[in-house]
């Protein structure tokens, strides 16, 4: 376009769309480096099983408990932290010693104690104990339940990591309509669909060595959806309390809860699904055998 004095430059506003289309991968390097370390530790302890596996997820649960209470501005309340940590620890020990019947009652008792010891938001504070404690209990139940325990845990890793990684790239590279702008402004429908599809295929690929069956494909889709729902739940919790990250423990990811929110939800889903099909001592078979 030209004017009487020569070419007229397009207004800066016309380039806004171009700037918006630029892909923001500024946080990719710390995410990748942290992710490599986390994958190595998680996969290594899963393969080893036994005490190292239990120790990793017990520590993760304690970190999540601390972060949850920190979100509620209860991080300085030692009583809440101690009561919740004690309940999680006892529940894990009960699971490891074969007293599974006591695990949920212990968590609930710890949740009640945690809520009663605090002055603010007792129900939400107590719920954090159950939320954190379900992570190691679900994973220990799967890993130690039967001969397919390792397969079940590796399948969960593949589904959730595949969903998370490809949702990140799908959303950044494709963009488009937001999934739920009010709760998580950065998540898109494109990332969600790419993520759950990729996670389901990754889970199926990992399980082929054990003679995987095609029902694992829709089951992987469902687990991916549950993982994304867990991510949105934690995002809504942080938005409610006005924080960006649950803590600063993991570079590029924020806190342990930020990194494991989707995995926690998928692990509880997987253990519960397997338990309903085959019972508490064969939940891995219930998840993986078709």
How high is the pLDDT of residue 245? 85
Residue 4 included in any domain:
no
Q: What average pLDDT score do residues 185-195 get?
A: 92
| pLDDT value of position 9 | 42
Domains held by the chain: number = 1
Q: Is residue 11 part of a domain?
A: no
Would the pLDDT of 8 be above 50?
no
Q: What is the pLDDT of residue 26?
A: 57
Q: How confident is the model at residue 144 (pLDDT cuts 50, 70, 90)?
A: very high
pLDDT at 76: 58
| pLDDT at residue 261 in the model | 94
Split at pLDDT 50, 70, 90, the class of 10 is very low
pTM above 0.95, yes or no: no
Choose the weakest-confidence range: 40-44, 95-99, 172-176, 191-195: 172-176
Model confidence band, residue 237 (pLDDT cutoffs 50, 70, 90): very high
Residue 63 to residue 222: CA distance in whole angstroms: 27
Q: Where are the alpha helices (DSSP H) in the chain?
A: 16-21, 28-48, 50-71, 78-96, 103-117, 122-143, 149-174, 189-207, 216-241, 256-278, 283-288
The DSSP call for residue 97 is: T
Would residue 228 count as lying in a domain? yes
Which tens digit of pLDDT belongs to each residue from 201-211?
Answer: 999 999 887 76
d(CA 163, CA 32): 15
Over residues 259-271, the pLDDT tens digits come to 999 999 999 999 9
Q: How confident is the model at residue 19 (pLDDT cuts 50, 70, 90)?
A: very low
Residue 199 or residue 244, greater confidence:
199
63-76 mean pLDDT? 83
What is the rounded average pLDDT of the residues 1-21?
Answer: 42
Q: Which residue has the higher pLDDT, 187 or 77?
A: 187
pLDDT on residue 242 = 87
pLDDT (mean) for 15-26: 47
CA gap 83, 94 in Å, rounded: 16
Contact 110, 84 (CB under 8 A): yes
Residue 84 lies in a domain: yes
The CA-based angle 122-69-60, given to 5 degrees, is 130
121-140: average pLDDT: 95
Domain limits for position 88: 28-288
Residue 7, in any domain of the structure: no
Banded pLDDT at 23 (limits 50, 70, 90): low
Burial class of residue 24, CB neighbours in 10 A (0-12, 13-18, 19+): exposed
Q: Per-residue pLDDT for 75 more than 80? A: no
Higher pLDDT: 82 or 72? It is: 82
Q: At what angle do helices 256-278 and 50-71 cross, to 10 degrees?
A: 120
90 domain-assigned: yes
Question: 22 in a domain, yes or no?
Answer: no
Indicate whether 12 belongs to any domain: no
How confident is the prediction for the chain on average, in pLDDT? Answer: 87
- Per cent of the chain over pLDDT 90 is 62
Scanning the structure block, which residue is given the tokens 């379900």? 134
């Amino acid at each position: 376009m030209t004017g009487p004095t020569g070419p007229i430059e397009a207004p800066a506003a016309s380039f806004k769309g171009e700037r918006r289309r630029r892909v923001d991968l500024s946080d990719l390097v710390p995410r990748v480096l942290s992710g490599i370390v986390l994958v190595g530790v998680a996969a290594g302890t899963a393969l080893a099983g036994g005490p190292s596996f239990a120790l990793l997820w017990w520590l993760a649960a304690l970190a999540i408990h601390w972060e949850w209470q920190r979100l509620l501005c209860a991080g300085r309340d030692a009583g809440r932290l101690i009561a919740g940590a004690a309940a999680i620890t006892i529940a894990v020990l009960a699971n490891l010693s074969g007293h599974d019947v006591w695990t949920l009652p212990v968590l609930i008792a710890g949740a009640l104690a945690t809520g009663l010891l605090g002055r603010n938001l007792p129900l939400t504070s107590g719920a954090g104990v159950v939320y954190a404690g379900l992570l190691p209990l679900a994973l220990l139940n799967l890993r130690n339940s039967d001969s397919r325990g390792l397969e079940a845990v590796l399948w969960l890793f593949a589904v959730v990591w595949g969903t998370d990684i490809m949702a990140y790239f799908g959303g950044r590279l494709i963009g488009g309509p937001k999934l739920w702008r009010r709760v998580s402004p950065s998540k898109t429908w494109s990332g969600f669909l790419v993520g759950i599809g990729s996670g389901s295929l990754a889970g199926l690929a990992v399980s082929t060595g054990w003679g995987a069956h095609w029902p694992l494909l829709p089951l992987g889709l469902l687990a991916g959806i549950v993982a994304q729902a867990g991510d949105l739940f934690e995002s809504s919790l942080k938005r409610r309390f006005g924080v960006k990250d649950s803590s600063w423990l993991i570079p590029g990811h924020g806190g342990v809860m930020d990194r494991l929110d989707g995995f926690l939800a998928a692990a509880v889903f997987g253990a519960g699904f397997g338990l309903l099909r085959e019972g508490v001592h064969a939940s891995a078979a219930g998840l993986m055998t078709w």
